[in-house]
Amino acid sequence: MNDIDFTLLAPRLEKHKGEAGSLIAVLQEAQELYGWLSPELLAHVAEETGIPPAKVMGVATFYAQFRLKPVGKNLILLCQGTACHVNGSAEIEKAVRDYLGVEEGEITPDGLFTYNSVACLGCCSLSPVMMINSKAYGNLTGAKTVEVLEKIKSGVDAK
């Protein structure tokens, strides 16, 4: 990951040029393009926008959405909201961890999956819930969770 193609980001930076308070939007677009915010990418954003690197880093570390580590092809968001907690989100997390064989934030060896815990996905009436690539899966059990992951892995429900 030494050579990042910054030309992808150039038109986005141009769009926000001179726009006060656009740092979060710039970082969101950068993450969308590159999947995560590497130190090189953050340094590039700081240089191009003229915002001090410390501030860029400060914002990138403050918000939960920004990923400072690379992620797998399919990003699993495990809801840890109140309703999910009461209805057994711990069991879902265990099923995901056991199936993938990695810890939170890590990439599976095949590069397919990373899972992260999130505060609340707002699908509380279907708790416990997880979201994969912006699609929510509800009323989960350990077995159902594994079924969903297997489908994605085998390409039936892939991104």
Closer by beta carbon to other proteins, 28 or else 108 = 28
Q: Which stretch binds other proteins (CB under 8 A): 7-15, 33-41, 103-111, 135-143?
A: 135-143
- Smallest distance, other proteins to C-beta of residue 62, A: 4
Give me the count of residues in the chain.
159
- Smallest distance, other proteins to C-beta of residue 159, A: 14
The mark string for 82-121 relative to other proteins (x by CB under 8 A, - otherwise) is: xx-xxx------------------------------xxxx
Closer by beta carbon to other proteins, 29 or else 72 = 29
Would you say the C-alpha torsion 39, 8, 28, 150 has a positive or negative sign? Answer: negative
Q: Which stretch binds other proteins (CB under 8 A): 1-9, 23-31, 101-109, 149-157?
A: 23-31
Among candidate residues 60, 14, 9, the one with its CA nearest the CA of residue 32: 9
Among candidate residues 110, 107, 37, 118, the one with its CA nearest the CA of residue 72: 107
Closer by beta carbon to other proteins, 3 or else 115 = 115
- The span from the CA of 40 to the CA of 151, in Å, is 35
Write out the E strands in the chain: 74-79, 113-118, 130-132, 135-137
- The span from the CA of 122 to the CA of 5, in Å, is 36
137 counts as binding other proteins under rule CB under 8 A = yes
Q: Are residues 79 and 128 in contact, defined by beta-carbon separation less than 8 angstroms?
A: yes
Closer by beta carbon to other proteins, 8 or else 90 = 90
Q: Which residues bind other proteins (CB under 8 A)?
A: 20-25, 27-28, 58-59, 62-66, 77, 80-83, 85-87, 118-127, 129, 131, 134-139
